[in-house]
Amino acid sequence: MKALVLFALVSAASAFHLTQQHDEFHFKSWMAQYNKVYSMQEYNERLQIFTANKRKVDKHNAGNHSFTMALNQFSDMTFSEFKKSYLWTEPQNCSATKGTYISRNGPYPDSIDWRKKGNYVTDVKNQGPCGSCWTFSTTGCLESVTAISTGKLVPLSEQQLVDCAQDFNNHGCNGGLPSQAFEYIMYNKGLMTETDYPYTAMDGICKYKPEQAAAFVKKVVNITAYDEMGMVDAVATHNPVSFAFEVVSDFMFYDKGVYTSTKCHKTTDKVNHAVLAVGYGMENGTPYWIVKNSWGDGWGINGYFLIERGKNICGLAACSSFPVV
């Protein structure tokens, strides 16, 4: 009997050791892929976080979900660390309840993708460890609206918004709203190009030069809060649309498929990330938005994601807007 117990204990210890080796092998491969270097103490800490994240991803993918998860550049971070670096830390007053947008009430095409309609959407950018997603949502939208209007697609400056738009209730790397950023561009009479005012992923001093302004806003259009059909109308008939929503922990590791969640909130006060709807469609009977993110093209579907449409998932219809040029 003792021999059996001892054998079971040895087997369990050996299986545990093998699992540890397996985890460490995965972690080292991941480190090489993302050029990560740690001190010895940090190595062990990050290995534990990575292993917990890997378990979470594997467990999700073993279940029956409309989207899959994958390890990515954030795999050595806890969600609270990720939030501090990549999402808004200041709550945003996303309160444009009655918008200025007038819907036409359809009919609308079954699907639309502004990336395929012409040279209207810039490449996916990377905000880095700065909660400046709102600036990328803003430039992405203004770049597209300007390109649809003029035929010229020019990457615009996020850094100008980070450095200069504080008077419009924006907070640089701590968050802001595209609707407020469009207001800033309108009253400030222009936004410079990415080339003339490059991105640093840090709060800086405003260096705006009006004579170098390359894009302008005549009017800001806010879609009525929670009017998701208004968003459909705008994307179908006009241009891509900026919107905000609440990111919760599983979204960090989104890989592909139609994202949906029961853990996030649907209200204006919880949104913590701004992105750009460039189109919509349907997959296996589920309607979705096609959304451009700002976490680089190695995240999600080449930097994009699909999110369920028609249910205000994670508050995505809480505060959407676009500029008129």
For residues 118 and 278, give the distance between their C-alpha atoms in angstroms, rounded to a whole number: 12
171 is catalytic: no
Q: Which of 72, 171, 293, 314 is catalytic?
A: 293
Cα angle, residue 102 at apex, residues 288 and 136 outer, rounded to 5°: 55
- Rounded CA-CA distance 7/150 in Å is 75
Among residues 130, 133, 141, 264, which one is catalytic? 133
238 a catalytic residue = no
Buried b (16+ CB within 10 A) or exposed e, 164-201: bbeebbbbbbbbbbbbbbbbbbbebebbbbbeebebeb
- By three-state DSSP, how is residue 25 classified? helix
72 counts as catalytic: no
Candidate list 130, 239, 273, 314, residue with the active-site label: 273
Catalytic residues: 133, 273, 293
